[in-house]
Homo-oligomer: A and B are copies of this chain.
Amino acid sequence: MTEPRWLDEREERAWRSLMVMQSGLFQYFERQLRAHSGLSAADYEVLAHLSEAPEGRMRSFALARVLRWEKGRLSQHLTRMQKRGLIRREPCPTDQRGAVVVITEPGRALIEKAAPLHVADIRKVLFDDATPAQLDLLTELGDQVKTRLAEIDQRTK
């Protein structure tokens, strides 16, 4: 086996930064969401996608895809959110095995209250200091990563 290509100094710094964002930033959002709205970041993501969908409804497989969650994880999470009255599940009229996930009125009220506070948090920690050039680079990086992950998904299918 050849000697692995370890990260050089520049890559190492970039990697550490990504870890800070991964842990520090998202833990901060999680704490803030819980404190001001009683939602986890996962709850927030589910409600945000549903609230933007036509009539607040999405097929569960489509929801799993946009969230990039596995089916089992989504199903467990939806059960908990259903118990709290934030969403409900209905059978899909065109597919016996598929469910439709629907945001409830309390779910919609909660995300509408939480969203402005969440956006203010994102601005404060991330975007207030970011330049347009930084934002565009972040978008490029995300696109590159998405492309690579899609290629890998494809090859393992």
- For A137, give its contact among B15, B24, B127, B134 (CB under 8 Å): B134
Residue of B with least CB distance to A120:
B4
Q: How many copies does the complex hold?
A: 2
By secondary structure, the A interface counts as: helix
Q: Which of A76-84, A89-97, A139-147 contacts B (4 or more CB under 8 A)?
A: A139-147
| Complex alpha-carbon distance, A149 and B28, angstroms | 8
A18 CB–B CB distance under 8 Å = yes
Chain A 124-157 interface 0/1 with B at a Cβ cutoff of 8 Å (1 = within) = 1111011011111111111111101100100000
Chain B min CB distance to A15 (Å): 7
A14 touches B130 (CB 8 A): yes
A141 touches B15 (CB 8 A): no
- For A145, give its contact among B6, B20, B119 (CB under 8 Å): B20
Given A5-B119, A119-B7, A136-B10: A130 and B142 interface contact (C-beta under 8 Å): no
A141 touches B134 (CB 8 A): yes
A144 touches B130 (CB 8 A): yes
Interface residues of A in 98-114 (CB under 8 A from B): none
| Complex alpha-carbon distance, A52 and B143, angstroms | 33
| Complex alpha-carbon distance, A51 and B127, angstroms | 35
